[in-house]
Chain A
Amino acid sequence: MTVIAIMVVLFLGGIIAWLSEAWNKDWPKWVAVGTCVIAGVVLLPLVYQADSLIAFSDADSSTWIELYEYPWIPRFGIHILFGLDGLSLLMVGLTIFLGFVAVVSSWDEIEKSPGFFQFNILWTLAGVVGVFTSLDMFLFFFFWEVMLIPMYLLIAIWGHENRSYASMKFFLFTQLSGLVMLIAILVLVILNGADSGVLTFNYFELMKHQLSPDVSYWIMWGFFVAFVVKLPGFPFHSWLPDAHTQAPTAASVLLAGILLKTGAYGLLRFTIPLFPEAALQIANIAMTLGVIGIIYGAMLAFAQTDFKRLVAYSSISHMGFVLVGLYAWNELSIQGSVIQMVAHGLSTAALFMTAGAIQHRLHTRDTRDMGGLWHDMPRMGAVAMFFMVASLGMPGLGNFVGEILVLFGTFKVNPPIAVAASIGLITGAVYALIAMQRVFQGERKLTRNLRDFGVREMTAMIPLMILLIFLGVYPQPIFDLISPALSNLYSTSVNQIPWVGGLK
């Protein structure tokens, strides 16, 4: 019930936040913070359950901490089927945590309709929690679309100067690719139903499908495109810089921190396990796209003069590692991808908050107008330095663990790809350090008094820093949490076909 409880808390919290606006403009944000805290508290007991599950995982093959099913639309075999394993738990935890951070980060940024703003934030979170826990394809698609609308509204209403274009582009890309996925889901379900005589959207049942390689190859593309658009992978990335740049800080944090992860999660949970053979066929294409994303994203990030755009392109570069790791498909590289997802979520969220804070103070995102900000805002400078260094992959911080595992794993499968991907570590250092230099060091271009990070901002930043260090120094608890789920995903697909270079 925990998953449903969390979603109910978030949905209700959103409505209460909206209504509370009528009494006091300050209440919505407190309601939103309270909602995130309550959701976190509800989730907490599961972490302990997860421990016990791991302890017994050898005896019992089930990797699910929670699993429940209610009929929804029996006509099509559609159920409300939620399942939570270590992977989902980690992603849900990240979602709620970053939700909290996002609310805190936009504490006094929102002046118009704060209630509706927090409503959209909380509903986005609820939709994302649904995506991370749905195991019925219809339910999954349902949440996949539900999370878009509040995010669209966040960009369209509270975005910056070019919000109309950006929000439209964001919605069109994700919605169209979603439709392609819907058709792919339906083809899978109906063909599977024709074979087995039972229409079902159940993930576990669909795993047993016996479709011909040709058919599954095409269906797989439908899923692949939808998830890679969201990731975003190389040819489909162009919505991301616009959306991120125009979005208000909190929405950027949610977009980079968790919405992008839904794409990677979808590949990991659905595309590859459902169609292992077809996924193998395109593994090289996918990894190549990942590498192109890594290098191309880094190059474009280097060329940006808009601070938010720079961070956005760096996201494309980092998510390229996730794509490479997933399609290398061995335990090492998948674990690396998951760690990279979490670490990127944390570090990029922090960078977007910094960018938002700078824009809030300077009313510009143009790095050419900045310079020497460290002088006025040493705390902000130090924080930005920390996260920039984290994002360039400094050992000891979370991103390094993710990237290095991906590279190790990939090397066993496809050395040229691994070599090419590792270029990303160098280019990452180049754009991150250049950005630091342009913004925080050098000559002071503004002599205005700028307010440094205060207590509120630091309360949001310090947990992020601690988590990143923790991930970088002692990632073992995370591995313990996710590895039963990952090896389950891995072994079910590897049992069907021997993957090249699979490590077991």
Chain B
Amino acid sequence: MNLDVYLLLPLISLSTVILTLMMLIAFCRNLSLTCAFSSIGLMVTLLLICAMAIDIQAAQTASLVDALVTPLIIVDAYALFFSGLMVFSSLCICLLSFNYHRARGEHQDEFYLLLLLATLGGVVLSQAAHFAMFILGLELLGVSIYAMISYPRAGRFSLEAALKYLILSGVSSAIILFGIALLYAAFGTLSFAEMAVLQRENSELDALYILAGSAMLLSGLAFKLSLAPFHMWTPDVYEGAPAPVTTLLATVSKGAIFAVLFRFFLSVDNYQYETILDGLFLLAVASIIFGNLLALAQSSIKRMLAYSSIAHLGYLLVAFIAADSVGGRALAIEASAIFLLAYFLTTIGAFGVVTVMSTEASDHDVDRLDEYEGLFWRRPMLATVFSVMLLSLAGIPLTAGFIGKFYIVVSGVDAELWSLLVIVVIGSGIGIFYYLRTIFAMTKRTMVTSVVHVPQTAGWTLAAVTLLLLVFGIYPTPVIEWVSRMAQAMT
């Protein structure tokens, strides 16, 4: 097989699934069929990515230049890792949301189409090596998400959330585009690799343009990553969007954007600018502190998870900043990849529980804290799964979250970011409080007698995610070995 075609396989497979699904929906509207078809398509893509990941590492072709397919796309181990994550999480969303959508009746099939399109956007982003591809992926992801947030036509909150996200995301896209224009003015190219070469060899670049461009790019992406102080939209949109879409927002959208931002920073070596490092530092501190503090005040699970995800992106920035020192770069890449993996698993699980809880409440999502009271006695397994997810968010051993937090601290210590580590400790301390409060609410003996029905598909998916989370928390060695080789190849 032609090497280029081989490397493009994930994109090809995903696009084929999307086109076929479009035809399928046009001719035969059947939610089970649609969901099954998209799940199988995603599964095939995931298997392809896994096979290629093993293949690429065995062949030692993970370096940046070898894997360029056209000037636009790069398929190295890093890209495969993140593509795999995107596809995996949308597979989980697909399975988790089936019963949720079926209970809501009417035309739900297009949701899966949008989900697949968003995934395609995520995969494109994680494989982008050029700003053209970057914008393509960003908009593919963004536009699908607008539609998905407003999918429940009857809900007032979802419309409000969609509008908010549309406007703010549009503004941030504009800022990003302007930043890219400035970078183009400085470099005269849009390719990451060429920019890197220029940055290394040409000292006559106009640093002001690069700085301004990077700053605008960074702040635009910080919007999408919901880093404080660009986080204002997050709680409202998380709350208003249907739970499966919230899962997508928290995982695929953030992960893909982080992946491409990190790749840009690493290849162009933006770390040489002190100002940008200071900005990143402030973003990290603000996200950890505000995220955790505001999460304290929430009585809605979705809003709490929204703020907690702001804080988690703040933790992730510690590794991002740690990549500043060249010696610790491999470790920082490894740390962010592992942390994101843990974050994905946990977030999917946590919002999965909200999805399951909301299955039968056809007009809203069950996310008030008091609706979860006594869940331990009503649905012990569901409550246990949710507790495991919350403990994982808090970074307690036996769960994936611990491995993630361990990595963040390791990379922080390695890069000697003492003040950030203090902030991480303070943030985690506050975090424990609201995670435990939720667990405590579930252990309460209350009079709430409403029976929660756990549908089969979603239930088994949740069980599988929890199992993965625990296995990864207890024996992460295989994943760590793969990722550490990936990180070594990147530097």
Interface residues of A (CB under 8 A from B): 71-76, 112-113, 141-142, 145-146, 148-149, 152-153, 156-157, 164, 167-168, 171-172, 175-176, 179-180, 182-183, 186-187, 190
Contact = CB atoms under 8 A, between A and B. Distances in A.
A152 B409 CA distance: 25
B409 A182 contact: yes
A168 B377 CA distance: 21
A183 B414 CA distance: 11
B432 A142 contact: no
Contacts of A142: 397-398
Nearest to A182: B409
A497 B484 CA distance: 40
Contacts of B432: 171-172, 175-176
28 contacts: A71-B477, A73-B477, A74-B477, A74-B481, A75-B480, A76-B410, A113-B377, A142-B397, A142-B398, A145-B397, A145-B402, A146-B398, A149-B396, A152-B436, A156-B436, A167-B436, A171-B432, A172-B429, A175-B394, A175-B432, A176-B425, A179-B425, A179-B429, A182-B406, A183-B409, A183-B421, A190-B410, A190-B414
Contacts of B475: 72
Dominant SS at the B interface? Answer: helix
Interface string B429-472: 10011001101100101000000000000000000000000000
Contact of B433 (A72, A73, A168, A180): A168
A186 to B, nearest CB: 5
B135 to A, nearest CB: 36
Interface of B: 376-377, 391, 394, 396-398, 402, 406, 409-410, 413-414, 421, 425, 428-429, 432-433, 436-437, 439-440, 443, 445, 475-477, 480-481, 484
Contacts of B409: 182-183, 186
A171 B406 contact: no
Given A171-B432, A176-B425, A75 B413 contact: no
B445 A164 contact: no
Contacts of A141: 397
Tell me whether chain A's interface is mostly helix, strand or loop, or mixed: helix
Given A157-B376, A167-B436, A176-B425, 19 more contacts: A71-B477, A73-B477, A75-B480, A75-B481, A76-B410, A112-B445, A113-B377, A142-B397, A156-B439, A157-B443, A164-B440, A171-B432, A171-B436, A175-B394, A175-B428, A176-B432, A182-B406, A186-B410, A190-B413
A157 B383 CA distance: 14
B477 A167 contact: no
Contacts of A157: 376, 443
Given A153-B443, A172-B429, A179-B428, A145 B477 contact: no
Given A153-B443, A168-B440, A176 B421 contact: no
Contacts of A179: 425, 428-429
A74 B410 CA distance: 15
A146 B436 contact: no
Nearest to B473: A142
Contact of B443 (A148, A156, A172): A156
Given A145-B397, A168-B440, A176-B429, A72 B477 contact: yes
